[in-house]
Chains A and B, each alone.
Chain A
Amino acid sequence: MELYLPIAELPMNVFMLLGMGAAVGFLSGMFGVGGGFLLTPLLIFSGIPPAVAVATVSSQIVASSTSGALSYFRKRAVDVKLGGFLLVSGVIGSYLGVKAFTRLRELGQLDLVIAICYVTFLSTIGGLMLTEALRAIAAQRSGRPLPVKRPGGRTWMQRLPLKVRFSRSKLTISAIPVVLLGIAIGFLGALLGIGGGFIMVPALIYLLKVPTGIVIGTTLMQTLGSMAFATVAQAATNQTVDVVLGLCLMIGGVVGAQFGAEVGQKLRGETLRALLGLLVLSVGIRFAVDLVLTPADVYSISFMSGEQL
């Protein structure tokens, strides 16, 4: 059943959109990530203009993080103060991201920047995740436990000024790295159409030493807020949010996520991390290959505003 998307200005098959939403939702439910980094490229590869894809995926991430954030709130596994700090700085970052997005589109370099960012972040994080998980699996096979790194210990980060106490996380840290992290994630989120959970979670655990039990709920709160802001900002400045497309992806996504979560609970933590690492890494490599291979056509056309034809 073909459905004409009013903002993207082209017809798409509803079942294909629902299916894409469900497939990405399944993976995001399984791995506990937002899935924006998979959904945005998938939409672009299937013909949706990149500007519409990035802006609309922001709204889909709002839907997929709402149910998660609510359930973590009920379990009281959210540090609202830390989340608030990250959220406010995330909104600032989102605003800058939307501005950069508009400017890069006019210059015709948006696709390049998106591709380079995807290659850099996805390859690095995917690679790290995969090696860490494989090492854990190997250690288990050989029966030797891995040396556990004690979180804590004074690092350069603890010596920064502007200390703030986050009582829920039992943490007193400088506000500077927290705010910088929020801005960076918000910026990347708006620019690349990703929630940034796959960067935020390791950053909170390894850089800020936030207790693992609180990390996911706090990340979801931040993702929800900054993506809601990104949606409104994209709608106001670029008019590229397609609510019909968004709704199809949301419905597919939330249903898929439920099944994904069930499968995810049956798999071992290491296996899950290895698979996620492999997935993230392969999306990164896919973008790298496109950058290096000689394109089928060296010419491309776009509108003055930068919107690709």
Chain B
Amino acid sequence: MAGLARVVAVAAVLIAALALPARADKLVTALSNDRVSITSNFTGGQVVVFGTVERDSQSVSRPENHEVVVTLAGPLTNMVTRRKERTFGIWINRESERIRMVPSFLAIRSARPIEEVATEAVRARLGLGLDMFPINAQTSLSPPARTEFETAFIRLMQENGRYSQMDGAVEFLGADLFRAPIALPANVPVGTYTARVYLFRAGVLLSSTEDELVIGKVGFEQYMTVYAHNHGVIYGFATVLVACLTGWLAGILFRRD
């Protein structure tokens, strides 16, 4: 039922957007859902970013010139990349580098390869693309120079399914209406996400929008996590009690002596 209500809401946004008097090429976007609930049977999910381009009445219809890039970024986190080296015959973590202020999840979707949408300089300024997003909160006008550890970090995050960049993943349903489905893996980090949509024409950013998405555990899962964090000692005692009961019950059920 909630799903149906969402579809209706999204449709309403899109219809309203199409009906509005247009001034300049602008973006109107919406998410298929603004909340992803993790329950006991969660094995991954999907969020769809919908949008429409609101046309300037002066500009002639040139839909083929519009380029849309959609990103979905998870909450910022701090990580460490380590490198193993053979020491006395065994492999040991030696050098490490802190990777600070990076999104815990990052999906980048576009219709055409992102390198063709905008120049490196434009993308560097926006931090758009796996090769451009800021690490350690460093933004620059030129493409960032990645260290070996940062390159390995991005590669490992991609292997883990947390970072992805795909072209051909933004689908135009009409001249102005597009949708970009983004799959969420089962191990998706919880938190507040930001979905950004960038509208380009001829390599120039015309407009961008931001929508918020909350991914969180609900019900039993949520209760357990909160309890484990806030009342660790009681949680521990309860677990021990459950364990003792299980063992005791088994002893009674299977008693042979």
Residues in chain A within 8 A of chain B (CB atoms) = 2-4, 6-7, 9-11, 59-60, 62-68, 70-71, 74-75, 108-109, 111-112, 228, 231-237, 239, 241, 243-244, 246-247, 250-251, 254-255, 257-258, 291-295, 297-304, 306, 309
- Taking the closest CB of chain A, its distance from the CB of B182, in whole angstroms, is 19
Q: Do B92 and A112 have beta carbons less than 8 Å apart?
A: yes
Which residues, 210 to 257 on B, are CB-close (under 8 Å) to A?
A: 217, 220-221, 224-225, 228-229, 232-233, 235-240, 242-244, 246-251, 254-255, 257
Cβ contacts A to B, 30 pairs, < 8 Å:
A4-B39, A6-B217, A9-B190, A62-B244, A63-B242, A66-B243, A66-B246, A66-B247, A67-B247, A67-B248, A67-B254, A71-B255, A108-B82, A109-B92, A232-B233, A232-B237, A235-B228, A236-B236, A243-B235, A250-B246, A250-B247, A258-B250, A292-B89, A295-B91, A297-B156, A301-B80, A303-B78, A303-B79, A303-B80, A309-B157
Cα of A299 to Cα of B81 in the assembled complex, Å: 7
Task: Describe A's contact surface by its main secondary structure.
Answer: helix
Segment with Cβ contacts to A, from B25-33, B40-48, B53-61, B110-118:
B40-48
Interfacial chain A residues near B242, Cβ < 8 Å:
59, 63, 243, 246-247, 250
By CB atoms of chain A within 10 A, which of B160, B225, B236, B248 has the most?
Answer: B236
Q: Do A298 and B83 have beta carbons less than 8 Å apart?
A: yes
* Contact (A232, B240) CB under 8 Å given A255-B250, A292-B90, A300-B156: yes
Mark interface residues in B12-53 (1 if CB within 8 Å of A CB, else 0). Answer: 000000000000000000000000001111110000000000
Nearest B residue to A70 by beta-carbon distance?
B251
Q: Do A243 and B247 have beta carbons less than 8 Å apart?
A: no
Interfacial chain B residues near A304, Cβ < 8 Å:
78-80, 98
**B96 at interface by CB-CB < 8 Å:** yes
Contact of A243 among B79, B83, B157, B224 (CB under 8 A): B224
* Contact (A71, B93) CB under 8 Å given A9-B187, A301-B81, A302-B79: no
Nearest B residue to A291 by beta-carbon distance?
B90
Interfacial chain B residues near A65, Cβ < 8 Å:
247
**B6 at interface by CB-CB < 8 Å:** no
**B167 at interface by CB-CB < 8 Å:** no
Contact of A254 among B187, B239, B246 (CB under 8 A): B246
Q: A-B pairs with CB below 8 Å: how many?
A: 189
Nearest A residue to B44 by beta-carbon distance?
A11
Q: How many B residues touch A, CB cutoff 8 Å?
A: 63
* Contact (A108, B80) CB under 8 Å given A232-B233, A236-B233, A243-B224: yes
Q: Do B247 and A64 have beta carbons less than 8 Å apart?
A: yes
Interfacial chain A residues near B244, Cβ < 8 Å:
62-63, 66, 228
Contact of B91 among A66, A294, A306 (CB under 8 A): A294
Interfacial chain A residues near B82, Cβ < 8 Å:
108, 299-302
Q: Do B80 and A228 have beta carbons less than 8 Å apart?
A: no
Mark interface residues in B135-169 (1 if CB within 8 Å of A CB, else 0). Answer: 00000000000000100110111001010000000
Q: Do A6 and B152 have beta carbons less than 8 Å apart?
A: no
Interfacial chain A residues near B42, Cβ < 8 Å:
4, 11
Cα of A9 to Cα of B229 in the assembled complex, Å: 14
Cα of A251 to Cα of B253 in the assembled complex, Å: 12
- Taking the closest CB of chain A, its distance from the CB of B94, in whole angstroms, is 10
Interfacial chain A residues near B98, Cβ < 8 Å:
304
* Contact (A298, B84) CB under 8 Å given A2-B43, A291-B91: yes
The 8 closest A-B CB pairs, nearest first, are: A66-B247, A235-B236, A67-B251, A232-B236, A254-B250, A62-B243, A299-B152, A236-B232
Q: Do A234 and B81 have beta carbons less than 8 Å apart?
A: no
By CB atoms of chain A within 10 A, which of B80, B162, B250 has the most?
Answer: B250
Interfacial chain A residues near B96, Cβ < 8 Å:
108
Interfacial chain A residues near B229, Cβ < 8 Å:
239
Cα of A101 to Cα of B1 in the assembled complex, Å: 47
Q: Do A7 and B228 have beta carbons less than 8 Å apart?
A: yes
Nearest A residue to B186 by beta-carbon distance?
A11
Nearest A residue to B235 by beta-carbon distance?
A235
Cα of A68 to Cα of B256 in the assembled complex, Å: 12
Cα of A233 to Cα of B38 in the assembled complex, Å: 27
